[in-house]
Structures are given as C-alpha cells and as structure tokens.
Structure 1
Amino acid sequence: RTTDIVGLDVRLGIAEYLQSTLGERFAPPQILRDKVARGELGRKTGKGFFDWPA
C-alpha cells in the first residue's frame, strides 16, 4: 500500500540505486519492473498493486 502511495516508479528508482551501491541483494523484484513498464505507477495512475478511485 505504501509503495502505491509513494509511486511504483519512485520505489523502483530507489531499489535500482540500492542495487547499484549495495549489491544484488537489493535488486527490485521483476513484478515491480513489469508494473512500471505497463504504466501502473500506483495511486497517481489509479492502478498499482491496488486499484485506486479516480
């Protein structure tokens, strides 16, 4: 829920930064990459891991 509120794109950016500085342990999950690629960014687009009212 928090990831949807913050934005999946923001969460992905954070995870990619952590991965590049701290290693593979912090690699973002594929489902997060897939959702961002589809434009499902959370509350700001109405769809993420949850559906949000318009």
Structure 2
Amino acid sequence: MRAYEEGVGTLAEIDAAMKAGAGHPMGPFTLSDLIGNDVTGAVAEALFDEFRERRFAQPPILRKMLAAGWYGRKAGIGFYDYRGDAPVPNPGLDR
C-alpha cells in the first residue's frame, strides 16, 4: 500500500509484479480485498500496538478506504470495484 501511495506503480502493476516476480498466487491488493480491508486494518493496528513501529501502522490509503466503507469484495468495492462484470481499479482512489 505504501508503494502505491508513493507512486511506484498502479494497483494492477503492483499486483502483477508480485505475482510474476515473487511467485504469489495473487497480488497484495487483490488479497487484501479478498480477506477484507477491515481485517487488514485490524491486523495493522494489532501489530502497531504490539511493536510501536511506524511500518506497522495503517497506511493513510487504508484508513481512507475503511472510513468510506470500502472493505473489499464483501462490500463490492475496495482497491478494486467488483460491482461490474469484471473487477476494475477503484476510481475513487488517488495518491
């Protein structure tokens, strides 16, 4: 999420890079949408509470998405918009 915020690539580019380069079955944004961005946020909070390291704090983009109710597939929108025939990047996200 921080790489996306910093402009490293688009959602689709980062997801594709992690699949191709790291051998992951899905990219990090697809995975977060699948398990739920609210779950991802809760995990980040727990890690930050335990270790007090900035790298574990919720990224700003995740806080924004949770405030908007963009929990991922179960809500129909997260990093990707699932309300159409095929998922497309969420047009409401900006860097």
Q: Which has the higher strand share?
A: 2
Distance in structure 1 (CA, Å) of the matches to 2:45 and 2:66: 13
Instruction: State the partner residue of 1:15.
Output: 44
Q: Which runs of 5+ in 2 are unaligned?
A: 1-29, 85-95
Residue 25 of structure 1 deviates from its aligned partner by 2.3
Map 1:22-41 onto structure 2 (within 5 A): 22-23=51-52, 24-41=54-71
Instruction: State the partner residue of 1:46.
Output: 76
Residue 48 of structure 1 deviates from its aligned partner by 0.2
Q: Which has the larger radius of gyration?
A: 2
**Considering only aligned residues, what root-mean-square deviation do their CA atoms show, in Å?**
1.2
TM, length-normalised to structure 1: 0.91
Q: Find runs of 4+ consecutive structure 1 residues off by over 3 angstroms.
A: none
The alignment of Structure 1 onto Structure 2 pairs a total of residues equal to: 54
Query: Which has the higher relative contact order, 1 or 2, with Cα contacts under 8 A spaced 6 or more apart?
Result: 1
1:2-54 residue CA offsets vs partner (Å, 9 max, x unmatched) = 00000000000000100010122211101001101100000001000001147
TM, length-normalised to structure 2: 0.54
Percent identity over paired residues: 43
